[in-house]
Structure 1
Amino acid sequence: MGRLEGKNILITGASAGIGEACAREFAKEGSNLILAARRLSKLDELKADILKQHPNITIYTVALDVSDKENIDKVVPGLLEKVKHVDVLVNNAGLVIGLDRLLDTSAEAIDAMFNTNVKGLVFLTQAVLPGMLARQTGHIINLGSVAGKQSYGGGSIYCATKHAVDAITRALSIELVDTPLRVSQICPGMVKTEFSTIRFRGDQEKADNVYKGLQPLVGQDIAELIVFTASRPPHVNISDMLVFPTAQADSKTISRST
Structure 2
Amino acid sequence: MTRTRILITGASAGLGAAMARDFARKGRHLALCARRLDALTALREELIAAHPGIVVAVRALDVDDHAAVPRAFGELRDELGGLDRVIVNAGIGKGAVIGSGRPGANLATVTTNLVSALAQAEAALEIFRAQHSGHLVLVSSMSAVRGLPGKKAAYSASKAGLAALGEALATELAGSPIAVTTLLPGFIATDMAARAGDTRMVAPLDKGVTAMIAAIEKERRRACVPAWPWRLIDLVLPHLPDAAVSRMS
The amino acid of 1:27's aligned partner reads: A
Report the TM-score, using the length of structure 1 for normalisation: 0.82
Query: Counterpart amino acid of 1:229?
Result: A
- 2-side partners of 1:220 and 1:18: how far apart? 9
Aligned to 1:144: 140
Runs of 4+ in 1 over 6 A off after TM superposition: none
**Cα contact 1:67–1:112 (8 A) shared by 2:** no
Which amino acid is the alignment partner of residue 240 of structure 1? R
Q: Report the counterpart of residue 2 of structure 2 in structure 1.
A: 3
Q: 1:104 to 1:218 in 2, by over 3 A?
A: farther
Contact kept, 8 Å, 1:9 with 1:89, in 2: the verdict is yes
For residues 177-211 of structure 1, give each alpha carbon's deviation from its aligned partner in whole angstroms, at most 9, with x where no partner exists. Answer: 24121101111111121113554xxxxxxx4xx32
Q: Report deviation, 1:118.
A: 0.7
2:220 paired residue number: 238
Residue matched to 2:124 = 128
Fraction of identical pairs, as percent: 27
Structure 2 unaligned segments of length 5 or more: list them.
238-243
CA–CA distance in structure 1, aligned partners of residues 184 and 57 of structure 2? 27
1:216-235 to 2 correspondences below 5 Å: 216-232=202-218
Which whole-Å CA distance do the structure 2 matches of 1:220 and 1:105 have between them?
A: 38
Alpha-carbon separation, structure 1, partners of 2:70 and 2:87 = 18
Cα distance in 2 for residues equivalent to 1:136 and 1:119: 25
- The aligned residue for residue 15 of structure 2 is 18
Change (3 A) 1:247 1:176: closer
1:63-102 paired onto structure 2 within 5 Å: 63-98=60-95, 100-102=96-98
Q: Higher RCO, 1 or 2 (CA under 8 Å, sep at least 6)?
A: 1
For residue 238 of structure 1, report the CA deviation from its aligned partner.
0.7
Q: Report whether the alignment pairs 1:163 with 2:160.
A: yes
- 1:222 and 1:128, CA in 2 relative to 1: closer, same or farther beyond 3 A? same
Distance change in 2, residues 1:183/1:53 (3 Å): same
Distance in 1 (CA, whole Å) between partners of 2:117 and 2:32 is 15
Q: Which runs of 5 or more residues in structure 1 are unaligned?
A: 200-206, 254-258
Question: C-alpha offsets along residues 26-51 of structure 1, whole Å, 9 cap, x if unaligned?
Answer: 11111001011001111111111111
Q: Distance in 2 between matches of 1:53 and 1:157?
A: 40
Corresponding residue number in structure 2 for 1:182: 179
Equivalent-residue separation in structure 2 for 1:105 and 1:11 (angstroms): 35
RMSD of aligned C-alpha atoms?
A: 2.3
Q: How many residues align?
A: 234
Shift of 1:229: 2.9
Structure-2 separation of matches of 1:189 and 1:65: 25
* Range 101-110 or range 22-31, more displaced: 101-110
Instruction: Say which structure is richer in helix.
Output: 2
Deviations 1:104-152 (A, max 9, x none): 2623112211221011111111112122122221111111111100222
TM-score (norm 2): 0.85
Q: Is the 8 A contact 2:6 2:31 kept in 1?
A: yes
